[in-house]
Chains A and B, each alone.
Chain A
Amino acid sequence: MTKTASVVIIGGGISGCAIAYNLAKKGVKDVVVVERSYLTSGATGRCGAGIRTQWGTERNCKLAKFSVDFFENANEILGYKRDIEFKQGGYLIVAATEKEVEQFKKNVELQNSLGIPSKYLSPQEAKEIVPHLDETKILGATFCELDGHLNPFHTTEAFAQAAERLGVEIMTFTEVVGIDVEGDKIKGVHTTKGYISTPIVVNAAGGYCRQIGDMVNVDIPTYSERHQILVTEPVEPMQEPMVMGFSLNIYTQQVPHGSFLIGRGDPTEPKDLRITSSWQFMEKMAKTACDLLPALGKLAVVRQWAGLYNMTADAQPIYGPVKEVEGFYLAVGFSGHGFMLGPATGQIMAEIILGEPTTIDVSDLDKDRFARGELVLEPSVV
């Protein structure tokens, strides 16, 4: 079966669905989303699902603030009948080294200048917000009440349903097997369910974006890295904010259901596409969690899982077209914060594709910045 589309988006995660929704809202007809498995089957459905405005670069602050503002009203904007479960309990980011204390004070200054009401706290003040925190393990903390977390499945579903109402076609369990290029221009996409003729392809394939790039001979300067999360049995609500530490290497939130999600990064992870679970993670993660939040030691772990971060050298995404192939656009390399930036990604990518001025300038987040050596380093990542 052959069909024709104006835009084919590869990837049915938050980015792909948000881009599709925004394109359709701007009146683009015949937008198709192609997803290899089910919606949210990749990193979106595997992430910690936090959103924070407390970043170390101006642009990340702006992208995140845009997304928080959107999430606050997402049920209404997207006409979602259920609930994306946005809980703004804040983010408590703990500093455990002098270097972090210094960086965090700078971050708060930057954030405040951009209208983000974060504040720097002493260990004692941090303990008042999270009473089960062992304050002797930290030197300070920052807190912002705008931050929080939401349900990645509902959020993606909300975007997808809104997009479908606007005429977007979402093809799940459909794998892209090849992309036709003629004279450096995109011509169409071969899938396991037939050929789609299209002048524009958006690569929103997350951890698998390089495989898509290979189909058009575009080398995408990202790598995928396994990150793991464990989840505990539920208990009554006891922790409002996400608790996060960069040098301590932990982020943990209590979801509305009562379970704790606890995750971390591991620099020794192999750079491949595996998403298996490891016992090493469980052992190290549990120790870190119990050191910082001793009460959690009494909770039983229910299970663990893994997903892929698609990393760039400066931990910021790659947005926009590529020079090599006309009609090939990238929304990749989110480095672990693609879910929270979803609304901004959707808006900005739609604007870029339609040649409109972008809400937030991302022109220097192109693919070739790495080759030029113009990195925009984000200091605050797990």
Chain B
Amino acid sequence: MRIEEHPILSFENEKRKKIKFIFDGKEYEGLEGDTIASALHAAGVKVLGHHYANNRPRGFYCAIGNCSSCLMTVDGEPNVRICVEELKEGMVVETQKGKGELK
């Protein structure tokens, strides 16, 4: 879901480059300037992780890198705050189980 029309802002002249990335083994597409979380949100991914202890789903929450709701493993690095991490071509993003494994 993306905002295509807006009463004040205009998106008509905006031509953003498409960026491909892998999320949990499947290929996804975002736009240049997206964070990982905004690209996933636009693609309809609402569950970003699960609580490490009670396993309840956690969604897109603070969106400013504070709340730990969206931690994922990105290119092998655990606990990346995907709401403030810029999307790059070819990124491999994985949802994280537990607290993340440091390798």
A267 CA to B101 CA in the complex, in Å? 35
B98 at the interface (CB under 8 A from A): yes
Q: A217-243: contact bitstring with B at CB < 8 Å (1 yes, 0 no)?
A: 000000000000000011110100000
> A258: nearest residue on chain B (CB-CB)?
B99
A234 CA to B103 CA in the complex, in Å? 14
A258 CA to B102 CA in the complex, in Å? 11
- Please pick, from A132, A236, A298, the residue contacting B99 in the complex, using a CB distance under 8 A: A236
Instruction: Kindly list chain B residues whose C-beta atoms are within 8 Å of the C-beta of A299.
Output: 79, 102
Number of A-B contacts (CB under 8 A): 27
B86 at the interface (CB under 8 A from A): no
> B78: nearest residue on chain A (CB-CB)?
A235
Question: Do B99 and A235 touch (CB < 8 A)?
Answer: yes
Question: Do A300 and B79 touch (CB < 8 A)?
Answer: yes
Question: Do B78 and A298 touch (CB < 8 A)?
Answer: yes
A295 at the interface (CB under 8 A from B): yes
> B101: nearest residue on chain A (CB-CB)?
A236
Q: How far is the CB of B66 from chain A (nearest CB, A)?
A: 11
Question: Do B79 and A295 touch (CB < 8 A)?
Answer: no
Instruction: Kindly list chain B residues whose C-beta atoms are within 8 Å of the C-beta of A296.
Output: 102
Question: Do B101 and A235 touch (CB < 8 A)?
Answer: yes
Question: Do A236 and B103 touch (CB < 8 A)?
Answer: no
Q: B12-49: contact bitstring with A at CB < 8 Å (1 yes, 0 no)?
A: 00000000000000000000000000000000000000
Question: Do A295 and B103 touch (CB < 8 A)?
Answer: yes
A296 CA to B77 CA in the complex, in Å? 11
Q: Which of A269-316 contact B (CB under 8 A)?
A: 295-296, 298-300
A295 CA to B98 CA in the complex, in Å? 18
Instruction: Kindly list chain B residues whose C-beta atoms are within 8 Å of the C-beta of A233.
Output: 68, 79
23 A-B residue contacts at CB 8 Å?
Answer: A132-B102, A233-B68, A233-B79, A234-B99, A235-B78, A235-B79, A235-B101, A235-B102, A236-B98, A236-B99, A236-B100, A236-B101, A236-B102, A238-B101, A238-B102, A258-B99, A295-B102, A295-B103, A298-B77, A298-B78, A298-B102, A299-B79, A299-B102
- Beyond contacts A235-B79, A295-B103: 9 other A-B pairs, Cβ-Cβ < 8 A, are A235-B99, A236-B101, A236-B102, A238-B101, A238-B102, A295-B102, A296-B102, A299-B79, A299-B102
